Amino acid sequence: METIYCQGCGIRIQTTAKNQPGYTPASSMTKENILCQRCFRLKHYNEIQDVAITDDDFLKMVSSIRDTSGLVVHVVDIFDVAGSLIKALPRIVGNKSILLVGNKVDLLPKSVNTRKLLQWLRAQAKQMGVNVADACLISSTKGHGISELAETMEQFRNGDNVYIVGTTNVGKSTFINRLIKESTGYRDVITTSYFPGTTLGFIEIPLDNHSALIDTPGIVNKEQMAHYISAKDLKLITPNKEIKPRVYQLNDGQTLFFGGLARLDFIKGDKQSFVCYFSNQVSIHRTKLEKADELFENHLGELLTPPSMESIDQIPPMISDTFRIDAGKYDIVFPGLGWVSILGDGATVTAHRPKGVAVSIRQSFN
Ligand code: GDP
């Protein structure tokens, strides 16, 4: 039988194993644009199916580009750089130029200075051991920066293939769709979705007779909040418009809850502002540190939401780390959920989040 690939995610189509990737009922094989059942459901019913592929397989698939030439475009989520920047990228892709693309720039407050943000993004990448040839900021949903990026890609690829690489959920599919739409007028060629891990396989989009744009599978980063919560909650914590920072004046001995998914205790330090950047749909609740445990116990899923009442059982138990922060402006980052900016000056804070989810501290970009 001729090998057929899904028009949505690029996986090889098969008609025998119902629970394996690429399954399509034999009766659908006569259709013109064949989709695997997973993409079909996603497209027509907005319904997510579980992915039957391991992280190792994802890595193996992406590693297969190591020995080819071309430009690597690494898409990261500007709302979650710590969670979406792939530290192992230089090792995975070998000796290729890397163009770093910060997507979802529309989510940041308008007051953010883009020049400073770009400098900051490059510095973050360098700090994590990823040296990049250039960096750009885009919004794939709004179209900002796409044509400039297309030009930069042309400049760096020297007529070679372009590999688009990223962790799941950074907006890689939306970005490629946008690129295709701007250059050809086609719409929604690749499946986009809220759930991590929905892009499987490689998709090749010809750029000219000799080279192509190649979409690689999203690498799963298990430290992102997205992997521990329900699809409904994920929708709530994923911002879909400009984030309005919420400012709290805190004394030490006070705590902030971000829904029931994270908590920041102000253990010691002078009274100061905690500027919170979270999806507008995540409720923020201030309380006294001594009452915080009790509040969490009694009000998770109602006052402290998301998670919703139905999904609280699936959230791993909370763990915490304590940080002493130097002088200067720092962000305490809960990957995929948001961050809090504070002026360190020797303040001590404790960050709580579900076990498995990372937390990090970075220098602020504004
Ligand atoms: P992929 O897993 O990297 O292919 O990510 P998708 O393209 O499926 O996008 C993941 C989620 O991010 C979807 O809900 C998209 O609508 C959203 N998204 C993608 N690009 C942008 C963007 O530029 N701005 C915003 N606000 N959301 C975006």
In this model, does residue 119 exceed pLDDT 60? Answer: yes
pLDDT of residue 213 exceeding 80, the answer is yes
pLDDT score recorded for residue 7: 77
Residue 32 — pLDDT band, cuts 50, 70, 90? confident
194 lines ligand 1 (CB under 6 A): yes
ipTM of the complex: 0.99
pLDDT at 123 over 90: yes
**What's 181's DSSP letter?**
H
Atom in ligand 1 nearest the alpha carbon of residue 174: 7
Asked if residue 186 and residue 98 are part of one domain, the reply reads yes
Same domain (yes/no): 165, 258: no
Q: What is the pLDDT of residue 88?
A: 83
Question: Length of the chain in residues, anyone?
Answer: 366
Task: List the alpha helices (DSSP H) in the chain.
Answer: 37-45, 55-63, 81-84, 89-93, 114-127, 146-157, 172-184, 231-237, 289-299
57 confidence band (pLDDT: 50, 70, 90): low
Residue 95 Cα to ligand 1 midpoint, Å, equals 28
Indicate if the pLDDT at residue 303 is higher than 90.
yes
Nearest-angstrom CA–CA distance, 244 and 81: 19
Lowest-confidence range among 25-29, 195-199, 217-221, 335-339? 195-199
Residue 241 sits in the same domain as residue 214: no
For residue 318, being part of any structural domain is answered with yes
Query: Is 62 inside any structural domain?
Result: no
Decide if pLDDT at 79 tops 50: yes
Domain count, the chain: 3
Q: What is the mean pLDDT of the chain?
A: 86
Same domain assignment for residues 85 and 166: yes
Ligand 1 and 107: CB distance under 6 A: yes
Q: What is the pLDDT of residue 52?
A: 47
3-state secondary structure of 310: helix
Structure tokens at 109: 């407050």
Distance of alpha carbon 139 from alpha carbon 316, whole angstroms: 32
Please indicate whether residue 54 or residue 250 has the higher confidence score (pLDDT). Answer: 250
Residues spanned by the domain of 276: 236-363
- Tell me the CA–centroid distance for residue 350 and ligand 1, in Å: 31
Regarding whether 276 and 217 lie in a shared domain, the answer is no
**Contact, 255 vs 287, CB < 8 A?**
yes
Q: Does the Cβ of 140 fall within 6 Å of ligand 1?
A: yes
What separation in Å is there between the alpha carbon of 46 and the centre of ligand 1? Answer: 15
CATH code of the domain containing 153 = 3.40.50.300
Out of 24-28, 97-101, 114-118, 197-201, least confident range? 197-201
pLDDT band at 22 (very low <50, low <70, confident <90, very high): confident
Is 177 a pocket residue for ligand 1 (Cβ < 6 Å)?
no
Q: Are both 161 and 98 inside the same structural domain?
A: yes
Q: What is the DSSP letter of 207?
A: S
Q: Say whether both 192 and 272 belong to one domain.
A: no
Let me know whether 212 and 82 are in one domain: yes
Q: How far apart are CA 283 and CA 123, in angstroms?
A: 32
Report residue 162's pLDDT band, with 50, 70 and 90 as the boundaries.
Answer: very high
Instruction: Let me know if residue 182 belongs to a domain.
Output: yes
Question: pLDDT grade, residue 24 (50/70/90)?
Answer: very high
Q: Are residues 190 and 320 in the same domain?
A: no
Going from the C-alpha of 364 to that of each of 182, 283, 296, the distances in angstroms are 34, 23, 29
Quick check: CB of 169 below 6 Å from ligand 1? yes
